[in-house]
Structure 1
Amino acid sequence: MNSGHRRRIGIAGAVAGVGAAGVGAAVGARHLLVGRVRLRPDPDRGEPFGRLRGRPLAITADDGLPLHVETEGPDDAPLTIVFCHGYTLTQHTWHYQRRDLAGVPGVRLVFWDQRSHGRSGRSDLANATIDQTGADLYTVLRATVPRRGRVVLVGHSMGGMSILALAERHPELFGRQVAGVVLVNTSAGDLREMTLGLPLVLAKVLRPLAPGALRGLGRRAALVDRARGLGADLAFVVTRRMAFADKHVSPTVVDFLEQMIRACPIDVIAEFYPALMAHDKADALPVLAKVPVAVLTGGQDRLTPAVHGRRIAQALPDAELTEIEMAGHVLPLEYPGVVTGAVRRLVERVRAEPKEKSA
């Protein structure tokens, strides 16, 4: 098992709730915080976050919802890598992987926005489920992977859950077309035990209140989203505190993550929250055993604690488990080199295997 550094993230609702609470008294806190690190170099200051784009592809989900998909690389590439982002985020979560893996010979990159996220269409409430995002992933694969091509699936958080939902519904794809899987900060279930770093007793008291509180905020979506904008300065502080353990994290990266979360409407956060809490795809793990798997966890992850990644790896004896002790829930942005390296290693492993094994 590889080990590294560390960081952290909490639930998007915490950031949303900051703005929703109307804590305007914290205006200027962000500037004070950023001012403290102005004298230190910020290597990410010039990164074009949110501006890397591929070729758009129009795809329609099985319920008629438009899904926003972008591709890079040759359409007939023998290997496709499909990146699935997490709850309240967008395909730009994979900024560094997109930047550093573009142009790899024989590889096509596919990025998509989950339903109700980013540029994809808004889902009906009844379809705001992990089973449906798994069905959406199946639609994306059918539209982007050549019939005789192979694919590596990479999922962060809810994106990894979507991969497990796909495995549950379409086990025949694994070992035939799906040749490898990378799961980052994700879980196969039991998210009800999540504490967000709170004492266990307090977490048990607050946990049953969260769905109702989010639904209440969702019913006042326009008002809450305006308040979130007004509370952006404090949201920056909360995001930095909840998402990163490294005191020297780039404020540019913090800004980028906070803006992605803030752009996700509060009613979307409310709609998907029950699906995440009810998520249970442990029975799909044996399907993943058919292919090479890499599992990455953060030792300070408050949303999907490292124990969830360990459980997945324990169910897959041949999986590569990388636990970064000083890390949290956004490894693609926190430790992009670790994530990109895991993807590269898996791709090389897939390429080294006889095609018959994945046929």
Structure 2
Amino acid sequence: MSTLDQTQSFRVSDGTALHVRVDGPADASGTLVLVHGWTQDHTTWDPVLPHLSSGLRTLRYDLRGHGRSAAARPGTATIERLADDLAELLSDRGGQGRLVLAGHSMGGMTIMALAERHPRLVAERVGAVAFVATSCGEMNRITLGLPGAFGTGAARLERRLAKLLAGYRGEGLPLRPAAARAGARWLVFGRRPRRQDVDSVVEQLLRAHPASVGQFQDAISVHDRRAALATLRGLPAVVLAGGSDRLCPVPHARAISDELPASRLVLFPGAGHMLPQERAAEVAVQLDTLADAVLGRAGRVG
């Protein structure tokens, strides 16, 4: 069995080059596609991969404006364009067999937009979906009836960060490491995060193209794809949420699950927004379960 372990470059139709990473058997019966969130990159999923079954092919990439992908061209820092990028990538690099799509935060929003804009591709190739700490809309009403100010302070801090990023024209952000770690720890983590996980989130932020990711915040604020979830009804699905997520609180996960009758809703008490770091092994179990059902595998290996 030949094994893939390689980084690639993929140029989408508007000329933007995306950084792509493929791992696993070249002759696998299907592919698990992992889409990261805002200000992060494909390494978000690094803690999850060691816990996945050994026979699984995975495809990860950096969204435009993030990581080692090129900056978003003017007017392209939109979730619609991210969905088109994903459609082109899947058509060219998706391998053989069915696809299991998993999206964290803005990555989940990208999968929803893919269903909205490319329903034929979804019908022909996608076998299951996983939504990880994400939302189908109403991000400007982040509290969704939660008591007190839970969520409002996080939304305000996120918008301030986005404004700083959008207006910055230099290379690399002038953020003090200690301040960046403190902000990340409060904004996107739950109880007692590991130092290496906080550092990883900050490092990914510092690798992103500042102006590009800042502009994506406008797209997130108007994201509304509850109706688009209809395209995914009937597919095996899992919706994962952290009980202490300040950016996409549990009601956002419930809203997604309510639209997907075949879905499982899995909550992680005490966890924040960064489930791929905070609950890596548990996330892997959920993704493996989907892959086992869709790809006809005999269960977890390794």
Q: Is the 8 A contact 2:52 2:285 kept in 1?
A: no
Q: Is the 8 A contact 1:188 1:279 kept in 2?
A: yes
The aligned residue for residue 189 of structure 2 is: 244
Q: Give the deviation of 1:253 after TM superposition.
A: 1.7
* Cα distance per residue 1:172-210 (max 9 Å; x no partner): 233431001111001111101125999559949x85x97
TM-score by length of 1: 0.74
Distance between the aligned counterparts of 2:296 and 2:232, measured in 1? Answer: 19
Q: Structure 1's 242 and 350: CA in aligned 2 closer, same or farther, altered over 3 A? A: same
Q: Give the deviation of 1:267 after TM superposition.
A: 1.7
Structure 2 gap segments, 5+ residues each: 298-302
Q: Is the 8 A contact 1:174 1:291 kept in 2?
A: no
Q: Structure 1's 199 and 136: CA in aligned 2 closer, same or farther, altered over 3 A? A: same
Query: Does 1 or 2 have the higher relative contact order (CA < 8 Å, sep 6+)?
Result: 1
State the structure with more CA Rg: 1
What percentage of residue pairs aligned between the two structures are identical? 33
- Counterpart code for 2:52: L
Q: 1:76 aligns with which of 11, 27, 45?
A: 27
Residue 125 of structure 1 aligns to a residue whose secondary structure is: coil
Distance between the aligned counterparts of 2:168 and 2:187, measured in 1? Answer: 25
Q: Structure 1's 324 and 216: CA in aligned 2 closer, same or farther, altered over 3 A? A: closer
Residue 124 of structure 2 aligns to a residue whose secondary structure is: coil
In the alignment, structure 1 residue 156 sits paired with structure 2 residue 108 = no
In the alignment, structure 1 residue 262 sits paired with structure 2 residue 206 = yes
Q: Give the deviation of 1:275 after TM superposition.
A: 0.4
The aligned residue for residue 99 of structure 1 is: 50
Q: Give the deviation of 1:245 after TM superposition.
A: 2.7
In the alignment, structure 1 residue 176 sits paired with structure 2 residue 119 = no
TM-score by length of 2: 0.88
- Counterpart code for 1:57: Q
Distance between the aligned counterparts of 1:133 and 1:217, measured in 2? Answer: 19
- Counterpart code for 1:241: W
The aligned residue for residue 70 of structure 2 is: 121
Residue 120 of structure 1 aligns to a residue whose secondary structure is: coil
The aligned residue for residue 300 of structure 2 is: none
Q: Give the deviation of 1:65 after TM superposition.
A: 0.5
Q: How many residues align?
A: 292
Structure 1 gap segments, 5+ residues each: 1-52, 354-359
In the alignment, structure 1 residue 306 sits paired with structure 2 residue 240 = no
The aligned residue for residue 277 of structure 1 is: 221
- Counterpart code for 1:272: F
Q: Structure 1's 178 and 335: CA in aligned 2 closer, same or farther, altered over 3 A? A: same
- Counterpart code for 2:109: M
Compute the RMSD of aligned alpha carbons: 2.7
In the alignment, structure 1 residue 286 sits paired with structure 2 residue 230 = yes
Instruction: Name whichever structure is richer in helix by fraction.
Output: 1
In the alignment, structure 1 residue 234 sits paired with structure 2 residue 185 = no
